[in-house]
Amino acid sequence: MNDVFISYAHIDDQPMMEGQRGWISQFHRSLEVRMAQLLGQELKIWRDPKLQGSDLFDEALVRQFSDSKVLVSVLTPRYVRSEWCRRELEEFVRVAATQGSLTTENKSRIFKVVKTPVTAQEIPPQLSDLLSRLLGFEFYEVDPETGKLREYDETFGAIARQRFFERIYDLAHEIAAVLKSFEPAAAAPVIRPSGRTVYLATTTLELQPERDKIRRELLERGHRVLPDAPLPQLSSEIETTVKAALAQSAVAVHLMGRHYGATPEDAAESVPALQLRWSAEAAQQAMLPRLIWLPGEGETTDERQRVLLAEIQDQPKWHFAADLFEGNLTALKKDLLQKLSPQEKKSAPAPVVVAAGPARVYLMCEAADLAAVEPLEDFLFAQGLEVCLPALDGGTGDADTLHRENLLGCDGVLVFYGSAPRAWVDIKLRDAMKAPGYGRTAPIAVQGVYVAPPFDHRKERFRSHNTRVVLAQDDFAANAELAAFVAALKEARA
């Protein structure tokens, strides 16, 4: 009996260079090894080594379908043009129907591997509906700037080789889940995912590798990731699918890149923007936690995306109940895993007793702004305040510990908005809001943002209903807003 049947076009196994293995042969071998590692036993993965168009499509080949639990179709331009390959796929569907179903445990027994992209117009009508409903595993990437295609093949260098094995791991993980469902319950009970459900929004091509990495890690930790099938083509159908998935999810994650993304023909917004809008609505209705990653300032030349990114930062309708991240994705992943970790029952933290003495202000700043923040630090100290700064020269553990201690013991916080991005400011303000969870007897009453050079239009328009805003000058000078902040801080201490 075959565990996996690989359906492919013969020309796609021809090596690029003499003496090398063909792509299909390498794919077959790598999948076989990874599947054995995941399931702890040798598997039988079969493919027709001949694929001669003149061969008869006889019962010997049909028996391979009958004995196969899973079919992997390797899509390429040649594959969709080949009558032989089309008949393989159609025959597997026919045989599977006579055996019961094309799905098991709500998972498809057919996997679509896209070695080389094909357009919808190239796919025969009799296969189009089936293939469009399958979650594809793309073994290529497209440069968003040049549109140049690069397949995941070791011939194209180390990065392409790494991407190839990452996709093999993704595919093997999904196939393993299907094969486990075929095992007798008494001999090997199917292990249901023990984690939670995450809505990981589809994104643009530039961020697809990063989305794949997050998805892979979540699945390996036992979480369920939605959407688990391609989104429909029309926005009305996409909305139904996305909202149903969001209703099942414990958290939503959005990766917003430099490009706006594809726009459905019946919509004015891109698919990433639509998903963000619908998750914001879900957050307002059911307090769905959201994580949004944004590129750094000045990294997009797409005017539509530039406007959208600015609105995400400035307008609550976009960032409601969301944590914003910029730059490296490590912080987002860390926060995501914390949100998904089981909530242990803990005794309430002991109340923090604030030491007597002058009012304490936690002056938050980035390492790049240490020199720029000194005049403000000196002014606050001259007003009789005890000034606390973050740990910017130690390890991550030390910095996190001091950050929490400063939030516990301060009377107020003042975030220095200099060279840091807007998302960093929002994150620090949210940290201040979370301080009671660390053991404070009361929230931090006085919070402010000191908007400092370098200035731009968006920074000069910074405003908040919940936080005091002090707009600085090019050269440091005390002003009415700063004096009011100091007075409120002393009053809170009294």
CATH number at residue 217: 3.40.50
For the chain, what is the domain count? 3
Q: Quote the crossing angle between the two packed helices 59-66 and 83-99, to the nearest 10°.
A: 50
* 175 and 216 belong to one structural domain: no
* 165 and 44 belong to one structural domain: yes
* 178 and 61 belong to one structural domain: yes
* 9 and 108 belong to one structural domain: yes
Q: Are strands 68-75 and 110-114 parallel, antiparallel or unpaired?
A: parallel
* 239 and 376 belong to one structural domain: no
Tokens coding 397? 């553990």
* 43 and 164 belong to one structural domain: yes
* 415 and 458 belong to one structural domain: yes
Note whether residue 321 is domain-resident.
yes
What domain range includes position 212?
200-342
Is-contact 75 8, C-beta < 8 A?
no
Cβ contacts of residue 401 below 8 Å, gap of 6+?
A: 391
**Per-residue pLDDT at 242:** 96
Q: How far is CA 8 from CA 31, 81, 89, 355, in A?
A: 15, 11, 10, 72
Note whether residue 128 is domain-resident.
yes
pTM for the model: 0.66
Alpha carbons 455 and 243: distance in angstroms, whole number:
39
Note whether residue 349 is domain-resident.
no
**Per-residue pLDDT at 193:** 52
Residues of the chain with pLDDT under 70: 50-66, 184-194, 297-298, 343-356, 394-397, 437-438
Virtual torsion, Cα 360, 361, 362, 363, nearest 10 deg: -140
Find the CATH number of the domain harbouring 156: 3.40.50.10140
- H-type alpha helices, 248-315: 271-286, 303-314
Note whether residue 87 is domain-resident.
yes
Note whether residue 107 is domain-resident.
yes
Residue where one domain finishes, among candidates 342, 373, 402: 342
pLDDT in tens, 398-410: 787 888 889 988 9
* 240 and 173 belong to one structural domain: no
**Per-residue pLDDT at 187:** 47
**Per-residue pLDDT at 190:** 47
